[in-house]
Structure 1
Amino acid sequence: MEKVNQTFYLSHGSPSLSIDDSLEARQFFKSWKTTVLQQRPKSILVISAHWDTKYPSVNTVERNSTIHDFGGFPEVMYKLKYEAPGATELAKRVKELLMGEGGMKRVDEDTKRGLDHGAWVPLMLMYPEADIPVCQLSVQSSQNATYHYNMGKALAPLKDEGVLIVGSGSATHNLRKLDFGMANGSPCSLGFGV
């Protein structure tokens, strides 16, 4: 089994990245397989800022649906689909690692959730064939950075198992909670959720 040996944090930008060829980031994602990661991953784990839960959750579906979790964009965007196969085996492994090495008491399995735009928008450009199994893991924005760092440490062995791990979001993500008038804002005011 070939190792991926890298984890990537990607700023997925606006959902319009899915259709706007003028965006430089779109060209970056489209060139992914030739300029960034030539190896084909066995499966992909996406940790998206758009799925925020009290306890860690993994989606365990046979085929991912496309969640259009945005509003006010051109109608064509709501017709886009990225229905990659689910990665139920990977989801079980994520749960095992988080409860074992990560010491978590609870990790939920969501048998209905598909991929939000933090996952499918970059993936549809990176791997347009939608033929690599994908699993999504939620974040817990009520927890601190140490908590999430420890989650990452627990999941690190996946890189040696051929899994591409992608964190998707942005440094300032929840723009509805951002107070542009705040002179000395705290990082907590930014949040991760939608």
Structure 2
Amino acid sequence: MSRMPTYFISHGGGPWPWIPNMRRMFAKLETSLAAMPDHLPEVPKAVLMVSGHWEEAAFAVMSSANPPMVYDYSGFPPETYEIQYPAPGAPELARRTLDLIKAADLPATLSPAQGFDHGVFAPMAVMYPDADMPTYQVSLQHGYDPAAHFALGRALAPLRDEGVLIVGSGLSYHNLRLMGPEARVPSTEFDTWLNKVLTLPEKDRTRALLNWEQAPSARIAHKEEDHLVPLFVALGAAEGEQATVTYHEEGIFGGVTATSFRFG
């Protein structure tokens, strides 16, 4: 079985694939997501998503065979609260994942009730529109400790050799209070730093990201780092492997620069 790469994707906004004007705005993102399955070494056994929209006190692993939907957004058309993405879960892989996390001495539990949030079902609906790819999630941990999330990624790394595609789903810029033209400078500054850091040698790259708050415009780009931390997991699972930009766009949301990356 071939080793899977890992990804960090900037996943767009809300239920954008179901909203025509947003879908047009994210046409370039849609193209990059739709192309992801064709750039894998083989068809995955499952997709494991780490979304910026689910966090718990301890790392939690979605274990339902048929995960429900979580409409974790507001202000969108009524029909977007009826979206269904009926991909199967992966209960056996969930238990395997739990064992790996616990073996790394990280706190973890199974979550049989958790459903797909929009950081998962929106990009997956583009990547696998037939909803036929087993999909499950691992939560973030409260506090967003970078080292803990790198450790989570390292713990998950063996899954890459078992046919599991690991995807961190967030946004390289996420400050909902500063969008539009005012976001142009801080998002560009932080994005430029991020792209530069990801080309550094392994130890330097990890060290820089552990200290990400020292980056230009860091706390403007991420007032809360829930949408950045999935990057640490994806990178921890592919530490030392080459980073490649899979999506880069300037001017979304009226001024935001955003990037997605592949590792390995």
Q: TM-score scaled by structure 2?
A: 0.64
Does the 8 Å contact 2:51/2:139 carry over to 1? yes
Match of 2:36 among 32, 36, 39: 32
The equivalent residue for 1:127 is 128
Does the 8 Å contact 2:175/2:223 carry over to 1? no
Partners of 2:78 and 2:219 in 1: CA distance: 36
The equivalent residue for 2:108 is 107
Label 1:145 to 1:74 Cα distance change in 2 as closer, same or farther (>3 A). same
Q: By how many angstroms is 1:185 displaced?
A: 6.2
Label 1:66 to 1:184 Cα distance change in 2 as closer, same or farther (>3 A). closer
* 1:91-132 CA-partner distances (Å, limit 9, x unpaired): 1111111111x212x311111111100011100110111112
Label 1:185 to 1:29 Cα distance change in 2 as closer, same or farther (>3 A). closer
Partners of 1:189 and 1:63 in 2: CA distance: 34
Aligned residue-pair number? 188
Partners of 1:167 and 1:185 in 2: CA distance: 19
Does the 8 Å contact 2:3/2:41 carry over to 1? no
Letter in 2 for 1:40: V
2:139 alignment partner, SS class: strand
Correspondence 1:136-155 to 2 at 5 A: 136-155=137-156
Label 1:190 to 1:129 Cα distance change in 2 as closer, same or farther (>3 A). same
The equivalent residue for 1:52 is 55
Does the 8 Å contact 2:48/2:135 carry over to 1? yes
Partners of 2:92 and 2:52 in 1: CA distance: 23
Q: What is the aligned-residue RMSD (CA, Å)?
A: 2.5
Correspondence 1:153-192 to 2 at 5 A: 153-173=154-174, 175=176, 186=219, 189-192=223-226
Q: By how many angstroms is 1:139 displaced?
A: 0.4
Letter in 1 for 2:156: L
Does the 8 Å contact 1:44/1:166 carry over to 2? yes
The equivalent residue for 1:42 is 45
Q: By how many angstroms is 1:28 displaced?
A: 2.2
Partners of 2:63 and 2:84 in 1: CA distance: 18
The equivalent residue for 1:118 is 119
Does the 8 Å contact 2:66/2:87 carry over to 1? yes
Partners of 1:33 and 1:98 in 2: CA distance: 26
2:52 alignment partner, SS class: strand
Label 1:86 to 1:185 Cα distance change in 2 as closer, same or farther (>3 A). closer
Partners of 1:70 and 1:157 in 2: CA distance: 33
Larger RCO (alpha carbons 8 Å, 6+ apart): 1
Label 1:128 to 1:38 Cα distance change in 2 as closer, same or farther (>3 A). farther
1:97 alignment partner, SS class: helix
Does the 8 Å contact 2:58/2:142 carry over to 1? no
Q: By how many angstroms is 1:17 displaced?
A: 2.5
Does the 8 Å contact 1:174/1:192 carry over to 2? no
Label 1:134 to 1:185 Cα distance change in 2 as closer, same or farther (>3 A). closer
